[in-house]
Structure 1
Amino acid sequence: MRVVAGERKGMPLKAITGTTTRPTTDKVKESIFNMIGPYFDGGTVLDLFAGSGGLGIEALSRGVQRAIFVEKDGRAYQTLQENIKKCRYEDVAETFKTDATRAVKGLIKRDIQIDYLFLDPPYRKIEYYDLILTLIDGGKLSENAVIVCEHAAEVSLPSTYGPYTLTRQESYGGTIISIYR
């Protein structure tokens, strides 16, 4: 794993060993950012189920101003923190070692607008996609927010989440990337 583009291009990222997470491959990550960017001028990214932080770190490298990472697995969280430090993003990254539902409830109480939302929950936990609606109902997604969902091919997500419409869907083997704007 590595940072694909931007100011930290080529920086190797530590991956998590074992089967508790599924890191997004560099090929899929590059494809996602070509669809939604590829570069940004500021904004805030929320990387739920961050794992080792590859997506949020990539967004920072490509010009996002601030990143919030949520990961509850202890080993993954430690790796996430190591990757943020290695990329020297400690000053623009917030990390939370907690369940995504609890983190979203906490974010609802804050004065924050999310411009990019990455949602890649465990494939068997489709109820976590409802967190998108919680963020919308809480007024946390900016008007021009981009929502990126990574999910198993057998999971069918709706064509809309509130005012955000499915604009693109790409398949990578057993993984689907769904983008809402």
Structure 2
Amino acid sequence: MRVVSGNYGGRPLKTLAGKTTRPTTDKVKGAIFNMIGPYFDGGRVLDLFAGSGSLSIEAISRGMDFAVMVEKDRLAQEVILDNIKMTKESEKFQLLKMPADRSLSVLTEPFDLILLDPPYAKEEIVKNLEYLQEQRLLTEHCIVVCETDKTVELPDKIAQLELTKQKVYGISKISIYEF
């Protein structure tokens, strides 16, 4: 696995061995960013189930200013820290070592990009996005990227967010929401 494009393009990323995380393939990662960007002129990103940190590192590589990565698994946290080190710009990243639910109560500033790839997709995504909106943690031009198994059906609307794009890549489905 590697950073696909941007300032860190081509640099290798570590992944977690085993089945506790499902790393997004380079092909799917490239497709996600082509759907939403592919490049950014600043902004804040929240990666609520960070895994290896690959998606948030890609977002920073492509022009986002700052990423908050949330991960509860200790082994995944070590991989994220190694991957952040690879960027040589650790000041652009914050790792919250806690479950996603708990992290939501400590977030205070709004985000321009939300990345969601939870283990139990539909229930977590709907609940998390409703909460983020209630707490005004999404900017008015926020883009939300949800990665799920292709069999998961997400609603067309979650509070004020509307499904704008959806595409299946192998076993993964990418759903994009915007205001």
Shift of residue 138, structure 1, vs aligned partner: 0.4
Give CA-to-partner distance per residue, 1:77-123, whole Å, 9 cap, x none: 1100110011113111110110000001111xx2x11000000001x
Q: Name which of 114, 117, 128 aligns with 2:111.
A: 114
Shift of residue 126, structure 1, vs aligned partner: 3.2
Give CA-to-partner distance per residue, 1:45-85, whole Å, 9 cap, x none: 00011011000000000000000000001100110011001
Partner residue in 2 for 1:143? 140
Q: Distance in 2 between matches of 1:150 and 1:118?
A: 8
Contact 2:122-2:153 within 8 A present in 1 as well? no
Partner residue in 2 for 1:83? 83
SS of equivalent to 1:106: coil
Q: Distance in 2 between matches of 1:152 and 1:125?
A: 8
- Say how many residue pairs are matched: 177
Q: Name which of 118, 123, 126 aligns with 2:122.
A: 126
1:31-46 matches, cutoff 5 A: 31-46=31-46
Q: Could you say what the CA RMSD is over the residues aligned between the two structures, in angstroms?
A: 0.9
1:94-113 matches, cutoff 5 A: 94-107=94-107, 110=108, 112-113=109-110
Q: Distance in 2 between matches of 1:177 and 1:51?
A: 17
Q: Distance in 2 between matches of 1:89 and 1:79?
A: 16
1:60-79 matches, cutoff 5 A: 60-79=60-79
Shift of residue 163, structure 1, vs aligned partner: 1.8
Q: Distance in 1 between matches of 2:98 and 2:121?
A: 16
Give CA-to-partner distance per residue, 1:120-162, whole Å, 9 cap, x none: 001x353211101100010010000000000112211110122
What is the letter of the counterpart of residue 31 of structure 2? Answer: S
Q: Which runs of 5+ in 1 are unaligned?
A: none
SS of equivalent to 1:16: coil
Shift of residue 16, structure 1, vs aligned partner: 0.7
Partner residue in 2 for 1:55? 55
Aligned in 2, Cα 1:84/1:39: closer, same or farther, shift over 3 Å? same
Aligned in 2, Cα 1:87/1:104: closer, same or farther, shift over 3 Å? same
Partner residue in 2 for 1:167? 164
Runs of 4+ in 1 over 3 A off after TM superposition: none
Q: Distance in 2 between matches of 1:62 and 1:125?
A: 26
Q: Distance in 1 between matches of 2:86 and 2:94?
A: 15
Contact 2:50-2:71 within 8 A present in 1 as well? yes
SS of equivalent to 2:142: strand
Partner residue in 2 for 1:29? 29
